[in-house]
A = this chain, B = another copy of it.
Amino acid sequence: MQKIGAQTIKFDAPPTILDTACIVGPKEADGPLCKYFDKCLEDEFWGEKTWEKAESKIIKETVNSVIAKSGISSDKIDFCFAGDLLNQCISSSFGLRESNIPFFGIFGACSTFVEALCLGSIFVEGGAANYTLCAASSHFCSAEKQFRFPLELGNQRPPSAQWTVTGAGAAILSKSGTGPYITHITPGKIVDMGIKDANNMGAAMAPAALDTLLTHFKDTGRNPSYYDGIFTGDLGHIGKEILIEMAQTEGYNIKSNYNDCGVLIFDKEKQDTHSGGSGCACCASVFSGFLFNQLKNKKLNKILLIATGALTNSTTNQQGETIPGIAHAVSIEM
């Protein structure tokens, strides 16, 4: 591998994404991408007593599913990279505690899945691993309870609010395989433009997405038309429009081939999800379900996946802090 430009790593022998899996909740099952998910749950508890335990079960079963689909036995997987939105990333650590795979806990808020792909591919390409496992989860109920209000209050949500995706996505990376390949990664910097509204995460994260997008283009010498599709993680409808406009100002027209996983996962008109989906599972499930399918079937051959995260919590909000954002990008080609 080699570093090119300011912050991009180009792989000489690009790791293959061997297989993916995703499990989502009932709301996501009602959305337009339903048929691409491996499993859709009928309720938010999945037989567990609490939402936290349900989220742990979702990531656990998603990981079991990708291992089964890949045909690689779990003792062949060298390292696991996983994280989630819950305090101290308990969904991942409790969900994967029986996996018996050396574990790196990571936290990039909603950018976690792509952060895992970045780290997992560095380990594979660098010779530290033959197989790595990357996973992330989120849950609407556990996230609302933790970050906003008790669900029982039935609080109204402003139009800029996003709907945390219930689900998980997982991928196994391999030294060899027939693609899709991770050819480049562009890990992002923390960007804070002073947004304070916890109900407008798209606006808080869009500047970070822009920063990583522009850096990726400059580092690689590419422009938007190189890709069949550019996909952000969970900017939602509002953040997506902001990113298009900001990129235009910087001389990059991404309007024709850009979309956001948070926009794709729900039907805005019918599902009352306001500005769209969010959460670690948004990009993780849309990639592991829909986008991986499109790549495998060569409907998309070159994509740039940029997951965005808002690095905030309810305490910083109460202490009057702004919301720093981050965005990590991976270039994936067939």
A-B contact pairs, 18 of them (CB 8 A): A1-B126, A49-B319, A52-B315, A83-B107, A87-B314, A88-B107, A88-B313, A89-B107, A90-B311, A97-B190, A97-B192, A99-B189, A102-B187, A102-B189, A103-B187, A104-B106, A126-B127, A126-B128
Distance to closest chain B CB from A74 (angstroms): 11
Given A1-B128, A86-B313, A104-B115; 17 other pairs, CB 8 A cutoff: A3-B78, A50-B319, A52-B319, A79-B187, A87-B88, A87-B314, A87-B315, A96-B190, A97-B191, A97-B192, A99-B189, A99-B190, A101-B189, A102-B188, A104-B119, A105-B109, A107-B107
- Cα separation A3 to B132 with both chains bound (whole Å): 13
Can you name the residue of chain B whose Cβ is closest to the Cβ of A191?
A: B97
Instruction: Give the number of copies in the complex.
Output: 2
Can you name the residue of chain B whose Cβ is closest to the Cβ of A10?
A: B128
A residues contacting B by CB (< 8 A) are 1-3, 7, 9, 49-50, 52-53, 78-79, 83, 85-90, 93-94, 96-97, 99-109, 115, 118-119, 122-123, 125-130, 187-192, 311-316, 319, 321, 324, 326
Can you name the residue of chain B whose Cβ is closest to the Cβ of A315?
A: B52
Contact across chains for B90 and A87 when beta carbons are under 8 A apart: no
For A100, the chain B residues whose CB sits under 8 A away are 189
Contact across chains for A106 and B103 when beta carbons are under 8 A apart: no
Can you name the residue of chain B whose Cβ is closest to the Cβ of A311?
A: B93
The 7 closest A-B pairs by CB, nearest first: A126-B126, A93-B311, A88-B313, A97-B190, A87-B87, A105-B107, A102-B187
For A128, the chain B residues whose CB sits under 8 A away are 1, 3, 9, 122, 126
Contact across chains for B108 and A104 when beta carbons are under 8 A apart: yes
For A316, the chain B residues whose CB sits under 8 A away are 52, 90, 94
Cβ 8 A contact of A104, one of B130, B187, B192? B187
For A97, the chain B residues whose CB sits under 8 A away are 190-192, 311, 324
For A90, the chain B residues whose CB sits under 8 A away are 311-313, 315-316
Cβ 8 A contact of A129, one of B3, B96, B102, B119? B3
For A122, the chain B residues whose CB sits under 8 A away are 122-123, 126, 128
For A50, the chain B residues whose CB sits under 8 A away are 319
For A115, the chain B residues whose CB sits under 8 A away are 104-105
Can you name the residue of chain B whose Cβ is closest to the Cβ of A309?
A: B105
- Cα separation A128 to B10 with both chains bound (whole Å): 9
For A85, the chain B residues whose CB sits under 8 A away are 88
- Cα separation A139 to B105 with both chains bound (whole Å): 20
Distance to closest chain B CB from A234 (angstroms): 15
Distance to closest chain B CB from A169 (angstroms): 18
- Cα separation A123 to B123 with both chains bound (whole Å): 8
